[in-house]
Amino acid sequence: MTLAGRCVIVTGAARGVGRACAVAFARAGADVVALDVGHDIEGVPYPLGSGSQLDLTAELCREAGGVVLTARADVRDSVAVTAAVERAHDRFGRIDVLVNNAGIVAPSGKVVHEVSDEEWALLLDVDLSGAWRAIRAVGPIMTAQRSGSIVNIASTAGLVGYRHFAGYVAAKHGLVGLTKAVALDYAPHRVRVNAVCPGNIRDSAWVEGRMLSEVARSLGVPVDGHETAFTADQPLNALVEPEDVASAAVWLASDDTSRVTGSVVTVDGGFTAH
């Protein structure tokens, strides 16, 4: 139980990688604040996590032995994010870890000059500014504690380009840059900030993931067999599992990485080694 007594906030925890992270942190002994918007967002062309999915994440964390608080907040809303962080702080008395995982992959699937102002702003607002808002809310708490670990779930799209995903690629490159800048701001306060860059993650049933099928839809790849199509690009000949990303997040939050900050950890089966 490497994280016993620690309090972790995971954003985008209703399903997917966020659910895998929440459960992995609960297994490691942490108290978990599972935060999610919990409803669809206008302009995002696929369903997002629901309130009942967030409740299921909480149930899985409790089964894993964790104490859990759920929070419904849109990371585009500074007031809601700050209120959720304050509620978590009141409940647990500390915030040790923030996993900035909430994200959208679309509206995408078009050449950059066809992207509207609204589509561009939406992707940046959730995938980049959302992480910044959560950091701004936990920063004063972590710096006052003189301890903390922030893990930003970026993407290989934060390291290389993907055709027809300009907004997503720009947001994730921005998140990698934000990681390095904040790592420097907070190093004197003993708060560490790192990024994880996953490659294509399998839409695993237990976490109800669906981002890869959305990527397939955006690219016009047949949704039947899309996992096989994406596996062909992976040097390790396997898609990343949500648990692979969760393990990296737990590791970066643990004392095993007390000298690791400002780093970018790829969990991509070798994709960016090409």
Ligand X SMILES: NC(=O)c1ccc[n+]([C@@H]2O[C@H](COP(=O)([O-])OP(=O)(O)OC[C@H]3O[C@@H](n4cnc5c(N)ncnc54)[C@H](O)[C@@H]3O)[C@@H](O)[C@H]2O)c1
Question: Which residues form the interface with ligand X (CB under 6 A)?
Answer: 11-12, 14-18, 36-37, 41, 48-49, 74-76, 101-105, 126, 130, 153, 155, 198, 200-201, 209-212
Phi and psi at 151, nearest 5°, equal -120, 115
Alpha helices in 4-77 (DSSP H): 16-27, 51-63
Closest distance to ligand X from the beta carbon of 188 (Å): 28
Nearer to ligand X, 30 or 84 (CB): 84
Residues near 70 by beta carbon (within 8 Å), at least 6 away in sequence: 33, 34, 35, 36, 54, 55, 57, 58
- Comparing CA positions, the residue from 23, 50, 46 lying closest to residue 36 is 50
Nearer to ligand X, 31 or 74 (CB): 74
Nearer to ligand X, 147 or 162 (CB): 162
Closest distance to ligand X from the beta carbon of 46 (Å): 8
Q: How far is CA 69 from CA 90, 171, 253, in A?
A: 11, 29, 19
What H or E segment, with its residue span, contains residue 152?
Answer: strand 148-153
- Comparing CA positions, the residue from 232, 246, 209 lying closest to residue 46 is 209
Closest distance to ligand X from the beta carbon of 44 (Å): 7
State the residue number with the nearest CB to ligand X.
16
Closest distance to ligand X from the beta carbon of 14 (Å): 4
Write out the E strands in 171-237.
191-198
250 contacts 3 by C-beta, under 8 angstroms: yes
The Cα–Cα gap between 147 and 149 comes to 7
Write out the catalytic residue numbers.
Answer: 168
Closest distance to ligand X from the beta carbon of 103 (Å): 2
Tokens of 30: 């942490």
Nearer to ligand X, 41 or 221 (CB): 41
Can you give the length of the chain in residues? 274
Q: How far is CA 120 from CA 99, 102, 197, 210, 217, in A?
A: 24, 17, 21, 21, 19
Nearer to ligand X, 41 or 83 (CB): 41
Nearer to ligand X, 257 or 266 (CB): 266
Dihedral sign of CA atoms 210, 37, 254, 64 in order = negative
